[in-house]
Structure 1
Amino acid sequence: MSTEEQAPDVRTQVTQRYQAPSQAADAVVRLVSDLQRAPVRVDGRIKQPIPFREALSVLHDIVQSDLRYKPKDRSVYVAFQRMRKRSVGMAQLQAQQAYFDWLSRNDPLAWFVLDPVVTVHPDGILFEVFSKDEGTYAQLRIGREALDVSGEWVCGTTNVDFSDALNQGVQKLRSYRSTRLTIGPEAVGLQTDGDSLVEKKIQVPDTWLRGFLQVQSSATLARAALRLSPIELYNVLYQLRMNADQKRQGRAIRCELVPGEPPRLVLEPWEWLLDTTAGPYQGKKPEVIRIWGRRRWMLLQRFLPFVDDVELHLIGSGLPSFLVMRAGPLSFTLGLTGFTAANWSRSLQFDTLLPRPGGSSALQEQVIGKLKERWATDWTELAQEIGAAPAEVLSVLQAAGQNGLVMFDLAAGKVRLRPLTVEPIDPARLEFRNDRERQAHDLQRAGNIVITKEEVIHGTGIALVAKAKVPAEKREYRPSFLLDDEGRVRKAECTCHHHRTHGLKEGPCAHLMALRLAHAELLAERARQGGGAIVTETRTYARRTPEGEAVTQISLDKRQLKVRWGMRTDARLRVQNLWFDHVDDAREAYLGRLERLEATGWLDATAT
């Protein structure tokens, strides 16, 4: 197959059937579950209706959130004009139905809200949702102690009807009225007739399904955790609410982490500093981690007044982050991807951190069998019971998570059984986003992508040039791009037909993606060798001073060593150039400077 073909928009049809719509009326929240799934049942009185109301409201807001950039699309307007012209003389209901028919064909996610996945376990109820823009994952856990259970408690996983009408009814819950929660396939207490069956057929993009599973599975990769007090999170949201983002300026939150010291949060570009007070950082390595997607934290405003403590779990700069909030028997986990669909460089780098989805294995079947017995457990205890290596069990659980079999509960520190769909998910469909990405991995695995030039452009990033051989086409292409200090690709070029015709409007070509994968593999190999093979590299370090944040950037470019230092707010940094007779001498001086910086309290602020 040619590497220039455009991949189709692959979708998975999801059919959900409910006996009746869910309702919140007469102080009873009735969540009707999918008739096609194994029945789950919950019946009990909610002890604290207000936190429950606000948590469900936040879930609803996240499901409908779409923060993607929306450029003007004249084709939609032209289609609307044509439809309006054809609808002249039609009845209003017919015209409305024609519009919805068009909308369901062109943008099904704009019409249907994908219903939450609800998992009932012996210790509580868990709701999971994923936003339409594939940028926000949310998990709400309602502990069993939050309810006075009076009826059956049947464990399992299902979907529940979660419509706008239900959300409007939830807003009417009050603390002075006793409120009951029921979950089950039967519409208990609802006035229904034979025609009340609700059926939804949704064409879910495979990219959405893949993102949901991948972001949820990445919770196992969190390597840094810091505690915040609720008022500190409120201060961050207040700063964001009172200040608009600035074009071509930083939009990240910098987390400055020093073992034994309280973590510090810095909001760019204002350099607003927040010294946290909830406790010292318990990690082992000092570093600076930058996270994106901070505006999505604003979705949590309604739930924040009830929160007792907050934890922020980090994987790395530009990678997914998880905000865990606990409010008595309720816990709310917000996961942010840290990148958009346009940032294909970061998404490819993230792919390299998780095992590729694959078929079942004997160990995976053994792990799933144990989870079926107890529903939820700590994965380290599971490894001890099975007698397998913890790293091996974790890898199996990560693959099972991407196959939709399990979920990870950061708030409780457990892995839980959660079959996402009725029919098993085909791992081959979700292994890659499109055919071009599949071809990129094939090129990289076959060794047909070779980096021929790696040049440090000081203050800008690293320029990479490669040769990509495509045996099927008997041709050789020259992909190249500039990778900035934040891991984003700038000025991408390729000699293939796809890039010459579309540029990046239709996404990167397979050769550019293969180059990004090859560079990630090169960096990982250098890290394993402990710096012995480094020829070109740039590291950035930061340290907090009374005057502000001081930064030092050290770049190794073969025999040249360049040092830049100053305050982060300075328009220009001071520069020192050093030349050596041999590459080994330059590398030794480079590594020595890094060791001295780390020994004197400087934090590694390099984008990972």
Structure 2
Amino acid sequence: MASSTVAAGAAQAYTYTRPSGLDGGLLGLSTSGGTTSAGPRPHPHFFSGVLTQAAPAAAGLIALADVAQTRYYQPRPTSFRDPVVTCNGDRLRMESFSACGGVYARLDVLEPGMDGDVHERGTTNVDVNGPLREALARVGGSDPLHLAVGAEEMAVTTMDGAVVEKKVPLPDRWLRGFAEVQVITAGFDPRAELTGLDAVRFLRSLPKRARDVLWVVPAGRTLRVSSRPVPGAVCLAGPDRLRTMLPLLRFASALRVYGPSVANGSGPVSSVWELELPGMRYVLTLSPQNSRGFSGEGAVLDALATDEVAGDADLIGALLSFEPRVDPDLLSERSGLTLARTKAALTQLGTSGRVGFDAAEAGFFHRELPYDPARVAALNPRLRSAQALVEGEAVRFTSDDTAIVRTDGGDRQVRFDGDRATCTCPWWFDHRGERGPCKHVLAARMVRREAAVEVAR
């Protein structure tokens, strides 16, 4: 993690005192600048102890790194982005995003998988380099693996003690993806669970390449692949995007799948795939289609399109302290905000990288990402366009549930039906709300909310 704010589309600078390495049974993960419960640190020291399950931990780290340097859509060489690591006290969470922005990966090392001392709670980036990956690939057996995350005494060497610096592009779509995944998966439910052996059979039976979106349906002890959605089905777009799970199958005791409710004729949706490993979990979240990165899904826009949400987010953010599980009800009680406003504030915090979501525990968790929360509007062009329409007084309500939005391309009609809205613009015609609201719906909602606040006064 860089110790300074990253400008939109700029290169991310990682600075490490030495490269990470594996030497004499000690896995030393070198940290860059991060945020801790005590404030910013240039090289935070989070944990020292042992990973009680060395082989699956090493394989999980390699899988995480593989996702970070892969473009699953239109593959081409790409720069590697170092994983984000958060110490929540009773666990270590390691996160990465694919270069194409369509696959989110996380390795959670849980309390049974680690034994040692937690020195600080917080978030940083850790160096994962080529030699380290080669060393991790040789880890086997059942011997514990000593781990130091940011310790000064790490038993790894660098020539003349030189500082290690990396600079890689950090696209806005990569940053937005973290926010979208958190919002999208918060609405998922468990859909299927397979034993380790059944998971092996299922994952190895999947086609390596599939152009069309597939669906999987629970069928006895396994999952049946279908070309069409039915109630209870889970979307599987691009089965090859699950391939980093294959080396982990020999350690897996279960495969769990999460997704939203679907019906006959439903369009593609995201899904979460989770391998239960000894003392840890490896999680992949897939976008609805190979060609769709999470950054364009638009799930965060409604929660951001309010004047009060930024202030609420500041209040809720001040109450967070790198908890492994964030309780919205408790935060609502402590802050004095309604539960709805608390959840909207958590969404806002997610867009600035401060909140993630764990489907396995159906709860939020606190972490930080290296970019400025003030960039939220700039990272969402639809929201910025909607705000411009409102400021230009382009929205006119003709009835309680109908608005006309004036644009250069002609008038657009927005209709409300409870919490749902439709629009006559080409974006709405193409996506039918499956990729978030269009700018006209957003603008109409902003004006509607402002009017409701005025009436309440």
The TM-score normalised by the length of structure 2 is 0.75
Q: Say if 1:12 and 1:203, in contact at 8 Å, map to a contact too.
A: yes
Match status 1:126 vs 2:84? no
In structure 2, the partner of 1:145 is: 112
In 2, Cα distance between the equivalents of 1:313 and 1:353? 23
In structure 2, the partner of 1:331 is: 281
CA shift, 1:252, in A, is: 0.9
In 2, Cα distance between the equivalents of 1:468 and 1:387? 36
In 2, Cα distance between the equivalents of 1:217 and 1:341? 20
Q: 1:53-202 to 2 correspondence within 5 Å?
A: 53-69=58-74, 110-149=77-116, 151=117, 153-175=119-141, 177-184=143-150, 186=152, 188-192=154-158, 194=160, 196-202=162-168
Which of 341, 346, 352 does residue 392 from structure 1 map onto? 341
SS of the residue corresponding to residue 190 of structure 1 reads coil
Distance change (3 Å), C-alpha of 1:289 and 1:190: closer
Which of 249, 255, 258 does residue 313 from structure 1 map onto? 258
CA shift, 1:355, in A, is: 4.5
In structure 1, the partner of 2:358 is: 409
Match status 1:294 vs 2:239? yes
SS of the residue corresponding to residue 302 of structure 1 reads helix
Alignment deviations for residues 110-144 of structure 1 (CA, whole Å, 9 cap, x no partner): 45310000001211111010010111101111123
Alignment deviations for residues 5-38 of structure 1 (CA, whole Å, 9 cap, x no partner): xxxx961332210001111122111100004652
- Aligned partner letter, 1:251: V
Greater RCO between the two (CA within 8 Å, min separation 6)? 2
In 1, Cα distance between the equivalents of 2:328 and 2:184? 15
Alignment deviations for residues 360-419 of structure 1 (CA, whole Å, 9 cap, x no partner): 644323322322285643333433444543333222212211121112222333322211
In 2, Cα distance between the equivalents of 1:226 and 1:353? 30
In 2, Cα distance between the equivalents of 1:45 and 1:423? 34
Which of 22, 32, 35 does residue 34 from structure 1 map onto? 32
Instruction: Give the greater-gyration-radius structure (CA).
Output: 1
CA shift, 1:59, in A, is: 0.9
Distance change (3 Å), C-alpha of 1:209 and 1:152: closer
In 1, Cα distance between the equivalents of 2:310 and 2:200? 46
Alignment deviations for residues 476-512 of structure 1 (CA, whole Å, 9 cap, x no partner): 499xxxxxxxxxxxxxxxxxxxxxxxxxxxxxxx963
SS of the residue corresponding to residue 247 of structure 2 reads coil
Q: Say if 1:116 and 1:160, in contact at 8 Å, map to a contact too.
A: yes
In 1, Cα distance between the equivalents of 2:106 and 2:196? 19
- Aligned partner letter, 1:513: W
Alignment deviations for residues 206-251 of structure 1 (CA, whole Å, 9 cap, x no partner): 122112321233221214543333333323222215x753x6xx43
- Aligned partner letter, 2:361: A
Distance change (3 Å), C-alpha of 1:446 and 1:222: farther
Which of 470, 484, 489 does residue 407 from structure 2 map onto? 470
- Aligned partner letter, 2:364: V
Match status 1:370 vs 2:319? yes
Q: Say if 1:356 and 1:399, in contact at 8 Å, map to a contact too.
A: no
In 1, Cα distance between the equivalents of 2:59 and 2:128? 15
Which of 44, 49, 54 does residue 44 from structure 1 map onto? 49
The TM-score normalised by the length of structure 1 is 0.57
Distance change (3 Å), C-alpha of 1:310 and 1:393: farther
In 2, Cα distance between the equivalents of 1:443 and 1:262? 52
- Aligned partner letter, 2:15: R
Q: Say if 1:358 and 1:428, in contact at 8 Å, map to a contact too.
A: no
Q: Say if 1:125 and 1:143, in contact at 8 Å, map to a contact too.
A: yes
- Aligned partner letter, 1:190: V
Distance change (3 Å), C-alpha of 1:33 and 1:289: closer
In 2, Cα distance between the equivalents of 1:23 and 1:306? 24
In structure 1, the partner of 2:369 is: 420
- Aligned partner letter, 1:125: L
- Aligned partner letter, 1:34: S
Alignment deviations for residues 140-174 of structure 1 (CA, whole Å, 9 cap, x no partner): 1112332231x553211111101122111111223
In 2, Cα distance between the equivalents of 1:251 and 1:239? 16
- Aligned partner letter, 2:426: L
- Aligned partner letter, 1:315: P
User: What is the total number of aligned residue pairs between the two structures?
Assistant: 402
Q: Say if 2:65 and 2:83, in contact at 8 Å, map to a contact too.
A: no
In 1, Cα distance between the equivalents of 2:299 and 2:309? 23
Q: RMSD over aligned Cα, in angstroms?
A: 4.0
In structure 1, the partner of 2:176 is: 210
SS of the residue corresponding to residue 43 of structure 1 reads strand
In 2, Cα distance between the equivalents of 1:300 and 1:385? 40
Distance change (3 Å), C-alpha of 1:393 and 1:215: same
Q: Say if 1:54 and 1:302, in contact at 8 Å, map to a contact too.
A: yes
